Amino acid sequence: MRNIVYALGLIIISFIGCSGTTVKKEYDPGKTISIKRFDKDIYDYLKQPEASKETALKEKYPVLLPAFGRIAMDNSDPSTFFTSLREYFSHSTLNKIYQDALTTFSDVSEYEKELSSANALVSEYFSGKSLPELAMHVSGFRENVIILSNLISISTDKYLGDNYQAYLDFFQPFERQQMQSKYIARDYIKAWLMSDIIKGEVHEQSLLSSMIYEGKILYALSQLLPDRDANDIIGYTPQQSAWCTNNEKNVWQKLVKDNYLFSTDHMVITRFINDAPYTGLISQESPGRIGVWTGWQIVNKYAKRKNASLEEIITTDAQTILKEAKYNP
């Protein structure tokens, strides 16, 4: 079972930041978001495989179905796809996970409502833009997010609660912390931001550019989900957020004094950016991802000082944001 369900093949690596300022806005509900239940349709087929259902699935999901086969099952051969699909989900533990996911998310109207409100703000902040089609799948912990042209699907078996029994053998506590249903809408929107809106800077080879890139994503999330607490944007506990606030000055001084800020060392960058139990270059008492938390604070400071729009923030380079934010906690 371990080789089937161990890895979360995340396109979204981490959800970063620690605290930030959000502005409440009045908005028109606008376009209603409806999540395509690919997960239910696949399970209906698995319960009673029929040729007619195979045809129906191909017609209803012409892009998502083959993508799911390639990503979740390593099968890109249309002639063996459905045989592999049945074999993949025949494992008793994986079948139980699938059933639990369907039970937990039998009704997704609350997520559709939140996403519809966010989509109205997308239209306001980004003229001519809207969220793509959204779907759900079950991958056996293998692929959390599938991003295709104008479609994003998330794996609901990643959101069954931080104490879900099947998680305990495969994920550490800091990973399970964000495996909760309250992060579904946020994860859809972040996947869209990273794939369609805020691109490029993450590939630059410095810690600062990665920090600002991640800070932009969290700032955008805070604007598109204005009713969400900052802890829900980042996925931190209140204790972790408090540690960030109480140690903000020390963290910044460490970044500057030890010449980490402009480091191009991949190991340094990942230790500040990637999810972990703590940020080892800072303190074992710290939460992970301190670099991106700091990036969020810098972007927040820049937004306030410049009264900048969301689109202006996204298109401004990291060096300019750092300089004009005058960040000095």
- Which pLDDT tens digits describe the chain residue by residue (329 residues)? 433 333 333 333 333 333 333 333 444 445 789 999 999 999 999 999 999 999 999 999 999 999 999 888 888 888 899 999 999 999 999 999 999 999 999 999 999 999 999 999 999 999 889 999 999 999 998 878 999 989 999 999 999 999 999 999 899 999 999 999 999 999 999 999 999 999 765 556 799 999 999 999 999 999 999 999 999 999 999 999 999 999 999 999 999 999 999 999 999 999 999 999 999 999 999 999 999 999 999 999 999 999 999 999 999 999 999 999 999 99
Instruction: Locate all alpha helices (DSSP H) within the chain, ordered by sequence.
Output: 2-5, 38-47, 51-60, 64-73, 81-88, 92-104, 109-125, 173-176, 184-192, 207-224, 230-234, 238-246, 248-257, 266-273, 290-306, 310-315, 318-325
pLDDT of residue 268: 95
pLDDT of residue 11: 35
- Pairwise CA distance, residues 101 & 306, whole Å: 45
Give the residues across from 279 on adjacent strands: 283
Q: Name the nearest CA neighbour of 273 among 259, 287, 257, 285.
A: 287
Which tokens go with 170? 């495969």
DSSP SS3 for 133: strand
pLDDT of residue 201: 52
Please report, for the chain, the start and end positions of each structural domain, with discontinuous segments joined by +. 2-197, 201-325
pLDDT of residue 204: 61
pLDDT of residue 16: 31
Q: What are the φ and ψ backbone dihedral angles of 100, each rounded to 5 degrees? A: -65, -40
pLDDT of residue 77: 87
Which residues, in sequence order, are CB contacts of 165 under 8 Å at separation 6+? none
Which tokens go with 323? 């300089």
Q: How far is CA 168 from the centre of its chain?
A: 21
pLDDT of residue 80: 92
pLDDT of residue 299: 98
Q: Are 177 and 288 in contact (CB under 8 A)?
A: no
